[in-house]
Amino acid sequence: LSQLPLSGKTVTITAGPTYEAIDPVRFIGNHSSGQMGFELADQALKLGAMVNLITGPTHLKLTHSHLKRFDVVSAQDMFEAATANFENSHIVIAAAAVSDYKPKTQYDQKLKKSEDSLRIDLEPTPDILKHLGTLKTHQILVGFALETQNEEEHAKAKLKKKNLDFIVLNSLNDKEAGFKKETNKIKIITNSEIIRFEAKPKAEVAKDILDHLLKIKD
Ligand code: C5P
């Protein structure tokens, strides 16, 4: 029986947006579709891995006997699921677009409309990936970055700050990259090199990312 490259390895992936509740019917969120994370999960499964897919709200579907899916809503939920799965993971890829802020107060009842202006105070959510970087022992840790200026410089700083093995940079300035797009154009940034890729469908981008992972794993 042929052994696949990630047989016996556990890959944990965060995907999608997070929703931060304002009241029972409203939230702060973003336009992430979750597609990049789901394509990464699909590729990792094809390479023989056991996959934990921790995803914020999305309509995407994926089923496989080696897939464990954790549906979460808020950054705090995602933080808990990612932390719980970290120790047993060989590879962790943070592809989620985590909301950076959440309302300080969550109202139990739906906020009533009035003529007055409304102010909602926000506080930061936990940085999941940064926390995983502090827990890292044997894991390969991969993050994403989406920058609008000085992108390579900012991505390199993030690589260090979050204790990552590499970071996948996609630029919002690029019309073929980003949220709600079928294609993505990436650079893989490590401590020692920058690898540039052409724009391509997200499934192929996922393949490029996993190929790089296979190169650096023991
Ligand atoms: O710092 P920044 O949000 O630009 O970093 C992006 C990377 O960090 C992504 O891999 C994203 O999934 C991860 N992240 C996270 N938790 C947060 C914010 C970002 O895991 N609260």
What was the ipTM of the complex prediction? 0.97
Question: How far is it, in rounded angstroms, from Cα 49 to Cα 53?
Answer: 12
Per-residue confidence at 55, pLDDT binned at 50, 70, 90? very high
Residue 67: inside a domain: yes
Residue 109 lies in a domain: no
Contact predicate 38/184, CB 8 Å: no
Residue at 174 is within a domain: yes
Residue nearest to atom 2 of ligand 1 (CA): 145
Residue 95 lies in a domain: yes
For residue 68, the model assigns a pLDDT of 98
| Pocket-testing residue among 20, 79, 127, ligand 1, by greatest number of atoms within 8 A of Cβ | 127
Report if residue 110 sits inside a domain. no
Using CB distances shorter than 6 Å, the residues near ligand 1 are 14, 75, 94, 96, 98, 125-129, 143-145, 158
With contact defined as beta carbons under 8 Å apart, do 198 and 29 qualify?
Answer: no
Q: Tell me the residue range of the domain where 68 lies.
A: 10-104+123-216
Report the candidate in 56, 46, 55, 41 with the shortest Cα–Cα distance to residue 11: 41
Q: What is the CA radius of gyration of the chain?
A: 18
Ligand 1 centroid vs 132 CA: distance in angstroms?
Answer: 11
Read off the tokens for 176.
């073929």
Domains held by the chain: number: 1
In a domain, 1, yes or no: no
186 pLDDT band, cuts 50/70/90, is: very high
What CATH number has the domain bearing residue 92? 3.40.50.10300
What spacing in Å lies between the alpha carbon of 129 and ligand 1's midpoint?
6
Q: Which of 42, 43, 36 is nearest to 14 (CA)?
A: 36
Per-residue pLDDT of 169-178, as tens digits, reads: 987 666 666 6
- Confirm whether 194 is domain-assigned: yes
Give the model confidence (pLDDT) of 70-116 as tens digits: 999 999 999 999 999 999 999 999 999 999 999 999 999 999 999 99
Residue 118 lies in a domain: no
For the question of residue 30 being annotated catalytic, the response is: yes
